[in-house]
């Protein structure tokens, strides 16, 4: 049986963005099932318009003898004309779109044209409340919705409920929970002595720190980098004076960004005298894994977060984390109900995607903090203040703000645990990601294939016109 060919619309999978990273895992993990063509987006792509055949590389890396991958790089997010050209040239059996739908609005305006011939599949990254009913038109333009987190699954399910004659009933929405998955062979525990000394020196100089806190994100307001510095300062202030120079905050980001702030000035003024190091050199995946292993703890207190890929990578590497209870970050916390089941022989299971149809989100600490427990590998920080933000294309979204003092106490929590014990707790997170929680690349690819297979099985071309009976 011939393999299906899928046209992927997302960030160029050779790039370093989170969307690109996951796109690569999805493509390379499913060559046994699909041939792939990608319209690869970038801000200003140097190879715009070229058709690049990566079949040889795909076969070598994946081990699949007939793996097929072609990339058509593009500046921005393309348009209807380039899509028509690609469909005509490559004859895909389906289109898979992966990222924020607003960037590819033109795709959904072509729904009637496309769905007469092939299905539209959407791997959806939305994780934040209130339920985005302004996304409903995008959802209705798709034949299948894959949800990156339990929260996304709950959101899509609720938005899809029948609440008027113009909205499709829930059973017409083909939706699957396809958890973001981390490559266990890329991000893994390594012995500190196996990390090159010159790399450690480049990162830390000649110092041997007792505790290293690692933050990796874009320098934008939503990621709260200044609050990370402030929390680190509050934490260090509580240490004996002789220990303050034995702790270090590493921030892998652009320290100055027009969309964020000047973190160099923030560090100099807010936390003078403390070791705050900015890692600005581009690192490959192996080097990033080294940084995770050299860190005692990672931190992500973003105000709203689709998933938090780097945090999940660090946990897969065996490093514990401090996490804001918001969006897809919740999936990484290993939340379970704290009430023993009625049958004591039953195991208390992790909250699942179906649970989130009712839960919505755990971010409201007044409602949920005392009702759930979390995994040993994480110290959750609950949002104490929630503000409503938005824009024209995204009219409303809740921004979950953490208390800086509580963040500093979370840092102290990991600091007070001996390094060997910290590592043990971090490794529990890796094992759970590989096991019951399923936050690994192999499970992501399996659930994606399951969802797409079901869609192909049930799919019927959309009628070009709606026929109405006149009375």
Enter the tokens of residue 336: 């379970």
End-to-end CA distance of the chain: give it in Å, rounded.
Answer: 48
The band of 362, judged by pLDDT with boundaries at 50, 70 and 90, is very high
DSSP assignment of 204-264: HTT---SEEEEEES-SSGGG-HHHHHHHHHHHHHTS-GGGGGGEEEEEES-SB-TTS-BHH
Containing 418, the helix (H) or strand (E) segment is none
Token look-up 């044209």 returns 113
pLDDT at residue 393, rounded to an integer: 84
Q: Are 247 and 415 in contact (CB under 8 A)?
A: yes
Token pair of 253 as six digits: 């980001």
Q: What is the pLDDT of residues 103-158, one digit of tens each?
A: 899 999 999 999 999 999 999 988 788 999 999 889 989 999 999 999 999 999 88
Residue 205 CA to residue 186 CA, distance in Å, equals 26
Looking at residue 302, its pLDDT comes to: 94
Under DSSP, the state recorded for 186 is: T
312 touches 292 (CB < 8 A): no
Nearest to 180 by CA among 152, 144, 217, 149: 149
Q: For residue 60, what are its two tokens? A: 């070598």
**Which part of the chain is CATH 3.40.50.2000?**
192-439
Among 410, 311, 394, which Cα is nearest to 134's?
A: 394
pLDDT exceeds 60 at position 247: yes
User: What is the rounded CA–CA span in Å between residue 407 and residue 39?
Assistant: 41
> Is the model more confident about 103 or about 419?
419
- Specify the pTM: 0.93
Per-residue confidence (pLDDT) for residue 347, from 0 to 100 = 64
pLDDT of 103 reads 86
Mean pLDDT, the chain, integer: 92
Q: What does the alpha-carbon distance between residue 301 and residue 181 come to, in Å, rounded to a whole number? A: 21
Asked whether residue 173 carries a pLDDT value surpassing 60, the answer given is yes
Predicted local confidence at residue 463, as pLDDT = 76
For 425-441, what is the mean pLDDT? 97
> Which whole number is the average pLDDT over 256-280?
94
CATH (residue range 4-178+444-458): 3.40.50.11930
SS3 of residue 157 by DSSP: helix
Residue 166 confidence class, pLDDT cut points 50, 70, 90: low
Q: Is 401 exposed, middle or buried (0-12, 13-18, 19+ CB in 10 A)?
A: middle
Question: Is 70 exceeded by the pLDDT of residue 383?
Answer: yes
Quickly state the pLDDT bin for 338 (edges 50, 70, 90).
Answer: confident
Domain with CATH 3.40.50.11930 in the chain: 4-178+444-458
CATH of 192-439, one of 1.10.3720.10, 3.30.2310.20, 1.10.260.40, 3.40.50.2000: 3.40.50.2000
Closest CA to 118 of 150, 90, 151, 148: 90
Give 14's pLDDT tier (boundaries 50, 70, 90): very high
**How confident is the model at residue 401, as a pLDDT?**
94
Instruction: Express each pLDDT in 318-336 by its tens digit.
Output: 999 999 999 999 999 999 9
Q: For residues 356 and 352, give the distance between their C-alpha atoms in angstroms, rounded to a whole number.
A: 7
Instruction: Answer for the pair 28, 58: CB distance below 8 angstroms, yes or no.
Output: yes
Residues 438/431, Cβ–Cβ less than 8 Å: no
pLDDT of residue 418: 96
In terms of DSSP H, where are the helices of 141-211?
150-159, 197-204
444-468 pLDDT per residue, tens: 999 999 999 999 999 988 876 666 6
- Does 233 or 44 have the greater pLDDT score? 233
């Amino acid at each position: 049986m011939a393999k299906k060919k899928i046209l992927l619309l997302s960030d160029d999978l050779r790039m370093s963005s989170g969307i690109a990273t996951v796109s690569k895992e999805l493509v390379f993990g499913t060559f046994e099932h699909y041939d792939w063509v990608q319209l690869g987006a970038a801000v200003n792509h140097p190879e715009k318009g070229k058709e690049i055949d990566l079949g040889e590389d795909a076969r070598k890396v994946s081990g699949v003898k007939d793996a097929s991958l072609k990339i058509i790089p593009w500046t921005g997010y393309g348009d209807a004309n380039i899509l028509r050209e690609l469909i005509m040239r490559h004859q895909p059996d389906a289109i898979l779109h992966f990222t924020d739908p607003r960037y590819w609005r033109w795709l959904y305006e072509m729904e009637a044209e496309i769905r007469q011939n092939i299905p539209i599949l959407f791997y959806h990254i939305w994780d934040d409340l209130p339920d985005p009913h302004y996304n409903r038109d995008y959802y209705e333009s798709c034949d299948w919705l894959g949800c990156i987190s339990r929260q996304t699954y709950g959101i899509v399910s609720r938005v899809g409920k029948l609440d008027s004659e113009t909205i499709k009933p829930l059973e017409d929405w083909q939706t699957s929970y396809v958890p973001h998955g981390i490559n266990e062979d890329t991000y893994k525990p390594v012995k500190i002595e196996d990390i090159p000394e010159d790399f450690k020196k480049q990162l830390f100089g000649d110092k041997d720190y007792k505790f290293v806190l690692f933050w990796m994100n874009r320098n934008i307001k939503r990621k709260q980098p200044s609050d990370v510095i402030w929390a680190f300062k509050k934490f260090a202030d509580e240490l004996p004076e002789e220990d303050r120079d034995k702790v270090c905050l590493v921030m892998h980001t652009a320290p100055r960004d027009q969309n964020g702030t000047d973190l160099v000035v923030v560090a100099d003024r807010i936390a003078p005298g403390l070791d705050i190091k900015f890692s600005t050199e581009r690192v490959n995946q192996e080097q990033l894994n080294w940084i995770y292993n050299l860190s005692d703890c990672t931190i992500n207190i973003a105000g709203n977060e689709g998933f938090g890929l780097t945090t999940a990578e660090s946990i897969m590497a065996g490093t514990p984390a401090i996490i804001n209870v918001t969006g897809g970050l919740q999936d990484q916390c290993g939340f379970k109900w704290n009430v023993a089941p009625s049958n004591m022989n039953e195991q208390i299971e992790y909250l699942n995607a179906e649970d989130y149809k009712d839960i919505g989100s755990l971010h409201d600490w007044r409602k949920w903090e005392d009702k759930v427990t979390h995994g040993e590998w994480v110290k959750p920080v609950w949002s104490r203040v929630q503000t409503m933000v938005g824009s024209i294309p995204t009219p409303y979204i809740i921004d979950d703000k953490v208390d800086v003092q509580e963040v500093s106490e979370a840092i102290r929590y990991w600091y007070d645990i001996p390094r060997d014990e910290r590592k043990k707790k971090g490794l529990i997170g890796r094992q759970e990601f590989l096991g019951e929680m399923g936050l690994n690349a192999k499970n992501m690819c399996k659930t994606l294939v399951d969802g797409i297979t079901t869609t192909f099985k049930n799919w019927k071309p959309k009628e070009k016109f709606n026929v109405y009976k006149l009375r």
